[in-house]
């Protein structure tokens, strides 16, 4: 089992920045691909970003490319999502996830999920 706890969400004005963190415990963190997803009210959970087990590769949804940056510190069992130039349409509950699938952009590719953290961007 892997336990994931997100933090860092909040209310920010459009154009502002937030950094989300996801702290992991349980099985070795360094062996998992980590992902971020988000879910807005009335919408399906969607892929935001992912990072491979060693941080060697990152992947982003087109909607956040160039604005969000994902990183991880395996020594601290923590991953991060730096979100810049935030837009009102980024408003959602953000979830971190861990998995060992070769694919990274679907919810079924992940085995463990955090409880989510709310991000609200005002216009």
Q: How far is CA 19 from CA 7, 81, 102, 109, 111, in A?
A: 9, 6, 26, 24, 24
Q: Which of 47-51, 54-58, 95-99, 107-111 is the least confident region?
A: 54-58
pLDDT digits (tens, 9 = 90+) for 14-62: 999 999 999 999 877 788 999 999 999 999 999 999 999 888 899 999 9
Q: For residue 55, which of 25, 37, 75, 41 has the smallest C-alpha distance?
A: 75
The β-bridge relationship of strands 68-73 and 92-99 is unpaired
Whole-number mean pLDDT of the chain?
A: 95
Query: How high is the pLDDT of residue 112?
Result: 95
The whole-number pLDDT of residue 102 equals 82
Please give the structure tokens belonging to residue 85.
């130039």
pLDDT score for 82: 98
């Amino acid at each position: 089992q892997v336990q994931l706890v997100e933090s860092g969400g909040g209310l920010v004005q459009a154009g502002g920045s937030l950094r989300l963190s996801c702290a992991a415990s349980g099985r070795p963190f360094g062996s998992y691909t980590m992902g971020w997803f988000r879910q807005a009210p009335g919408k399906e959970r969607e892929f935001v970003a992912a990072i491979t087990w060693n941080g060697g590769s990152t992947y982003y949804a087109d909607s956040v490319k160039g604005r969000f940056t994902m990183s991880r510190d395996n020594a601290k069992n923590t991953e991060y999502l730096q979100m810049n130039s935030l837009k009102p349409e980024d408003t959602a509950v953000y979830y971190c996830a861990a998995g060992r699938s070769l694919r990274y952009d679907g919810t079924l590719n992940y085995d463990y999920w955090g409880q989510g953290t709310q991000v609200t961007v005002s216009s």
